[in-house]
Amino acid sequence: MMQLGVCYYPEHWPESQWQSDARRMVELGMTHVRIAEFAWSRMEPRQGEYDWAWLDRAIDVLAAAGLKIVLGTPTAAPPYWLCKAMPQIMAVRADGKPWRFGSRRHYDLFSADYRRECARITTAMVERYGQHPAVVAWQTDNELACHDTVPSYSDEAKVAFQGWLAAKYGDINKLNTAWGNVFWSMEYPTFEAVDFPVQTPTDANPSHLLDFRRFLSDEVIAFHQLQADILRQHAPGRDVLHNFMGLFGAFDHYQFAKNGIDVAAWDSYPLARTETQALPEEEKARWARTGHPDISAFSHDLYRGVGRGRFWIMEQQAGPVNWAPHNPVPAPGMVRLWAWEALAHGAELVSWFRWRQAPFAQEQLHSGLNLPSDGFSPSGEESLRVGKELRQFPATASKAKAPVAMMFDYESLWYCDIQRHGASFDYQLHLLAWYSALRQLGLDIDILPRDADFTGYALIVAPTLTVADLPLVEKVSKSDALWLFGPRTGSRTRDFHIPATLPPGPLQAVMPIQVLEVESLRPSLRPQTRIAGQAGAAERWRENVRPMGEVEVLARFEDNWPALLRKGHVQYATAWFEPALLKHWLAECALEAGLEITHLGAGQRLSRRGDVTFAFNYDAQVWLAPVPMDAELLLGKAELGQGELCAWRE
C-alpha cells in the first residue's frame, strides 16, 4: 500500500467548512484523515458531560467523502476541569513544583488517578466509535515523551519506582550489590529508601540511573498499553498505533511495540530535526532547507523494524515549522520528496501535518497544506502533485529485506546517555554516522533490535551495543555473514558494571581482545590511522585495546594502539572514525560481504521497494541517477536537481 492522509482538526474550523475540506482531501488523493487527538475539552466539556454530537457530525462528513479515519485519544492534554478536580495528576518537576496548566503534556503518567481517567475517556470514545466502519485505526495520546515529559518527581512516581525495584531485585542486598553501593556508602536498608537519581551533589550512581530509565520506559509502555487494550477490546480489527517522534529514546520502542501496536507510526519533521540535532554546524548549514539526507530515512528504517514491517508517517512536515531555533522554508520539491522517500522506505501511509494552518494558539507558525485563509500553501501544491503521481504509480510490493542489518538498542542509548564520558559522544549520532556511510554506498538497511533474527543478512553492523550477551555471541558464531562491531560494544553488564574479563565481555568468544582503557577526545585530538589505504582520524572516542590470541590487527594508530581488529567474519573498530574513513572501511566490508555498492555523494540516496528503485537528490548540484539502460522509468527522469527524484523498475 502507498497511501496518503492528513491530520485534521474539525474543532478548529466552522462546521460549514468541513464538507469542502473533506471533498478537497479526497480530490488530492487522500485516503486517511486523523482527528480528535487534542479535543478532550470538546468531547467532555465538563466532568462527566460528554458532547459527541460535533464529533459524530465530523466523522460523518469525512466518512461520507470516502475517507478512512484515524481517531486519537485526547489524553495528551487533559482539560482544565480535570486538572482542577485532581491536582495530583499534574506532573512534578525536578524542583518539586508541579507544571502549570496552559499548554500540553502536563499530566503525571505515574498517577493512578490519571490512568483511570484516561481509561474512562478512551472507553467512552471507543464504545461510541469503535465499530464505526470508517474508523480504521486508533492512536493513543500524542508524541509520548515530547518536551521531556516522561519523568515526574511526584511521591506517587517514587513509590512506583521503589515497587519496580522491589519486583526486580526481591532483596535489597541484591540491589546494593548490583549497583555497587558499597562505593561511597550508598547502601540502602530497604527499597523504600531509594530516591530519584537527581539533585545529588555530584553524579548519581549509573546503575541507579539506568534502572530509573528502565522504569520510566516500562511506565510509558504501561500507560499506552492500558489504552491499547481497551481499544482492541472495543474496536476489533482496527489498527492500534501511537505516533512516535524521530530520534526519541525515552522509552524502548521495540518493547512498546511488542504488544502495544499494529503499525509503527511516526512524526517526521526533517528540517527542525536537522537543526536541533547535535550535528556539526557545517552539516546543519548544508542541509538547512532539505533536512539531512539520512535524518528521516534512519527513522523510516528504524520504525519499519519497530512495526515488524509496517510503518506510517502520521505527521509529515508540510512547509516551515515553528519549534527549532531557526525555521526556514523547505527547498522547492522537498515536501514532495519527503513523501516519496517515506514510501520508498516502505511506508504504507504518508499523512501530512496538517490540513490547514490554524491562525491561533501555539502552532500558528506551523504550516499546513492549506493557508489559514484556505487555499493551498506553497507546500500544499507539492502534496497535490504527489497525489497525482501516486494515482499513476503502479502497485508496489512492500520493502524487501535489506542486505544490511544495523542494530539499534535503546538500552545502549541509555548507557551512553548516562555515561557519555566525553561530551561529544552521542549514541544516535554515532549510529547515524554509520547509517549515513552505508547509505552513501547505495545500500538499503534494516534497523533491528539486538534480539532480531539476523539470518539472511550479508552484513550486520552494531556501531555500539553496550551489552554483548551470550545469545548474541552465539548468533555471531553460527553466522557466516560479516559482523562489524564499533567501540563501546560489550563494554558493560546489565548491571552497568565493566565486565569481569574487561570489554567487550562475552564478545571475546568471537573477538578475543581486551579494552584496557578508553578515552573521549576533545575536538582538537584526532589520532591518525590508515585503513585499507585510506588515511583518516578518530574523533570523539577511542579505546586502547590489547589483542588476545589469534586476532588480526588490520589497522593501527600512530601510537601503535590498534584501530581495527579482525577475527574471521568479525571486525571490531576501536574508535569513532571520521566520516570519510568510516565510509571507506564500510565500503571494503560491503564488498567483502559480496554486496554491490554504488558510490553516492553526500546528498544522493537510493532506496528500493519491491522491484522499484527510487533515487533522491538532496544536493544543490544536478545528479544523474544510475538508471539502468533497460529500466522502465516510473517517475521523473534520471537527471535530478535539488529536491527531485525518480523511480524505475528493472
Q: Which residues are catalytic?
A: 143, 315
Say if CB 225 and CB 260 are below 8 A apart.
yes
Choosing from 123, 327, 479, 534, the residue that interacts with a copy of itself (CB under 8 A) is 327
Listed ranges 234-242, 323-331, 451-459, 477-485: which one lies at the site for a copy of itself (CB under 8 A): 323-331
Choosing from 73, 205, 412, 489, the residue that interacts with a copy of itself (CB under 8 A) is 205
Report the distance separating Cα 305 and Cα 301, nearest Å: 6
Q: Give me the least distance between CB of 251 and a copy of itself, in Å please.
A: 17
Number of chain positions touching a copy of itself (CB under 8 A): 117
Q: For residue 46, list its beta bridge partners.
A: 49
Could you say whether residue 188 binds a copy of itself (CB under 8 A)? yes
142 annotated ligand binder: yes
Q: Give me the least distance between CB of 199 and a copy of itself, in Å please.
A: 5
Compare residues 434 and 541 and give the one whose CB is closer to a copy of itself: 541
Cα 291-292-295 angle, rounded to 5 deg: 100
Could you say whether residue 580 binds a copy of itself (CB under 8 A)? no
Cell of 191: 527499597
Q: Using CB atoms within 10 A of its CB, is residue 599 exposed (0-12), middle (13-18) or buried (19+)? A: exposed
Cα 542-495-190 angle, rounded to 5 deg: 140
Site string for a copy of itself, 206-235 (x = CB under 8 A): xxx---------------------------
Report the distance separating Cα 257 and Cα 241, nearest Å: 9
161: Cα separation from own chain's centroid:
26
Listed ranges 9-17, 161-169, 301-309, 620-628: which one lies at the site for a copy of itself (CB under 8 A): 9-17
Report the distance separating Cα 227 and Cα 48, nearest Å: 19
Compare residues 95 and 550 and give the one whose CB is closer to a copy of itself: 95
Say if CB 64 and CB 22 are below 8 A apart.
yes
Could you say whether residue 325 binds a copy of itself (CB under 8 A)? yes
Could you say whether residue 585 binds a copy of itself (CB under 8 A)? no
- The answer to whether the peptide bond before residue 213 is cis (omega within 30 degrees of 0) is no
Listed ranges 71-79, 112-120, 466-474, 567-575: which one lies at the site for a copy of itself (CB under 8 A): 71-79
Report the distance separating Cα 162 and Cα 471, nearest Å: 30
Q: Give me the least distance between CB of 201 and a copy of itself, in Å please.
A: 5
Report the distance separating Cα 554 and Cα 193, nearest Å: 51
Per-residue 3-state assignment (H helix, E strand, C coil) for 319-358: CCCCCCCCCCCCCCCHHHHHHHHHHHCCCCEEEEECCECC
Q: Give me the least distance between CB of 447 and a copy of itself, in Å please.
A: 28
Q: Give me the least distance between CB of 604 and a copy of itself, in Å please.
A: 21
- Interaction with a copy of itself in 489-518: which residues (CB under 8 A)? 495-502, 514, 516-518
Compare residues 179 and 410 and give the one whose CB is closer to a copy of itself: 179
Choosing from 5, 72, 78, 151, the residue that interacts with a copy of itself (CB under 8 A) is 78
Cell of 503: 570489554
Dihedral angle of Cα 40, 43, 45, 49, to the nearest 10 degrees: -130
- Interaction with a copy of itself in 303-322: which residues (CB under 8 A)? 319-320, 322
Report the distance separating Cα 293 and Cα 137, nearest Å: 30
Choosing from 17, 19, 20, 46, the residue that interacts with a copy of itself (CB under 8 A) is 46
Say if CB 52 and CB 42 are below 8 A apart.
no
Could you say whether residue 289 binds a copy of itself (CB under 8 A)? yes
Could you say whether residue 38 binds a copy of itself (CB under 8 A)? yes
Compare residues 76 and 247 and give the one whose CB is closer to a copy of itself: 76
Listed ranges 111-119, 186-194, 308-316, 574-582: which one lies at the site for a copy of itself (CB under 8 A): 186-194
DSSP 434: H
CB atoms < 10 A from the CB of 85, how many? Answer: 12
Q: Which helix (H) or strand (E) holds 298?
A: helix 295-306
Residue with cell string 537527581: 198
Could you say whether residue 427 binds a copy of itself (CB under 8 A)? no
Residue with cell string 504509480: 393
Compare residues 332 and 568 and give the one whose CB is closer to a copy of itself: 332
Could you say whether residue 93 binds a copy of itself (CB under 8 A)? yes
Q: Give me the least distance between CB of 406 and a copy of itself, in Å please.
A: 26
Task: Write the CA distances from 132 to 63, 238, 296, integer angstroms.
Answer: 10, 10, 33
Could you say whether residue 16 binds a copy of itself (CB under 8 A)? no
- Interaction with a copy of itself in 393-422: which residues (CB under 8 A)? 419, 421-422
Choosing from 48, 102, 236, 533, the residue that interacts with a copy of itself (CB under 8 A) is 102
Report the distance separating Cα 339 and Cα 97, nearest Å: 42
DSSP 87: G
Could you say whether residue 359 binds a copy of itself (CB under 8 A)? yes
Could you say whether residue 74 binds a copy of itself (CB under 8 A)? yes
- Interaction with a copy of itself in 429-488: which residues (CB under 8 A)? none
- Interaction with a copy of itself in 105-164: which residues (CB under 8 A)? 105-106, 146-149
232 annotated ligand binder: no
Dihedral angle of Cα 196, 202, 206, 212, to the nearest 10 degrees: 10
Cell of 381: 501544491
- Interaction with a copy of itself in 363-392: which residues (CB under 8 A)? 363-365, 367, 371-373, 377-379
Q: Give me the least distance between CB of 485 and a copy of itself, in Å please.
A: 20
Q: Give me the least distance between CB of 585 and a copy of itself, in Å please.
A: 23
Could you say whether residue 361 binds a copy of itself (CB under 8 A)? yes
Phi, psi at 122, each rounded to 5°: -65, -45
- Interaction with a copy of itself in 332-351: which residues (CB under 8 A)? 332
Could you say whether residue 578 binds a copy of itself (CB under 8 A)? no
Per-residue 3-state assignment (H helix, E strand, C coil) for 115-166: HHHHHHHHHHHHHHHCCCCCEEEEECCCCCCHHHCCCCCCHHHHHHHHHHHH
Could you say whether residue 73 binds a copy of itself (CB under 8 A)? no
Could you say whether residue 248 binds a copy of itself (CB under 8 A)? no
Compare residues 318 and 347 and give the one whose CB is closer to a copy of itself: 318
Compare residues 331 and 476 and give the one whose CB is closer to a copy of itself: 331
Report the distance separating Cα 646 and Cα 221, nearest Å: 39
Choosing from 218, 417, 519, 588, the residue that interacts with a copy of itself (CB under 8 A) is 519
Could you say whether residue 100 binds a copy of itself (CB under 8 A)? yes
Q: Give me the least distance between CB of 118 and a copy of itself, in Å please.
A: 13
Report the distance separating Cα 139 and Cα 557, nearest Å: 51
Say if CB 521 and CB 542 are below 8 A apart.
yes
Cell of 86: 485532581
544 annotated ligand binder: no
Q: For residue 35, list its beta bridge partners.
A: 71
CB atoms < 10 A from the CB of 517, how many? Answer: 10
Residues comprising the binding site for substrate? 104, 142, 323
What residues form the annotated binding site?
A: 104, 142, 323
